[in-house]
């Protein structure tokens, strides 16, 4: 997980992203207890998240037989979206490539961790739609009761 050598499949790539994201949750909890401790925790959490994201991206690029340097395209606007889509959807090489043997088969734990991020994304979109609609409904009900 911490070394940039080797290959990483799509689901395992999402699982690494989920792990790095889940590290920030305790850091956010620390922020509720103490601002100073929380700020330090969040800074350390983001540094960890950045490192894991870079390493996982390099391994994912190795899986599609590309050099890790292509990950620098994440800093180029619009091209970064294309790269992310490639990392998420392009299948890796079936056999051995320049960077080694294919990634290990995914376990149930890997699938669960890999599906956490898309699930959080979908729940976030639904909440962004539902909460304002519910607030409008409450406001309309309060206005109707006041009349």
Q: Which two tokens stand for residue 98?
A: 């320049």
Higher pLDDT, 111 or 33: 111
Distances (CA, A) of 131 to 62, 117, 145: 41, 21, 21
* CA 102 distance to own-chain centroid: 22
Res. 1 pLDDT band, cuts 50 70 90: low
Residue 25 has pLDDT above 80, yes or no: no
Q: For residue 53, give the nearest of 95, 8, 86, 111 by alpha carbon.
A: 8
Residue 126 has pLDDT above 90, yes or no: yes
Give residue-wise pLDDT tens across range 70-116. Answer: 999 999 999 999 999 999 899 888 888 888 888 888 899 888 888 88
Higher pLDDT, 65 or 30: 65
Q: What mean pLDDT, rounded, does the chain reach?
A: 86
Q: Read off the pLDDT of each residue in 5-24 and give the average, rounded to a whole number.
A: 84
Return the residue matching tokens 């037989």.
Answer: 65
pLDDT at 73: 93
**97 Cβ neighbours under 8 A, 6+ residues apart:** 7, 62, 65
Q: Read off the pLDDT of each residue in 11-40 and give the average, rounded to a whole number.
A: 79
Give residue-wise pLDDT tens across range 59-70. Answer: 999 999 899 899
Higher pLDDT, 41 or 135: 135
pLDDT at 42: 79
């Amino acid at each position: 997980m911490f070394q940039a050598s080797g290959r990483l499949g799509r689901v395992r790539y999402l699982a690494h992203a989920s792990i790095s994201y889940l590290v920030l949750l305790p850091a956010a909890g620390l922020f509720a207890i103490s601002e100073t401790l929380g700020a330090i925790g969040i800074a350390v959490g983001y540094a960890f998240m950045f490192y894991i994201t870079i390493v996982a991206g390099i391994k994912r690029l190795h899986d599609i037989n590309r050099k890790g340097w292509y990950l620098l395209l994440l800093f180029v606007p619009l091209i970064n979206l294309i790269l992310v889509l490639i990392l998420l959807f392009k299948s890796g090489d079936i056999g051995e490539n320049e960077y080694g043997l294919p990634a290990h088969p995914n376990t149930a734990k890997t699938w669960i961790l890999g599906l956490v991020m898309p699930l959080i994304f979908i729940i976030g979109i639904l909440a962004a739609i539902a909460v304002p609609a519910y607030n409008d409904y409450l406001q309309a009900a309060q206005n109707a009761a006041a009349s």
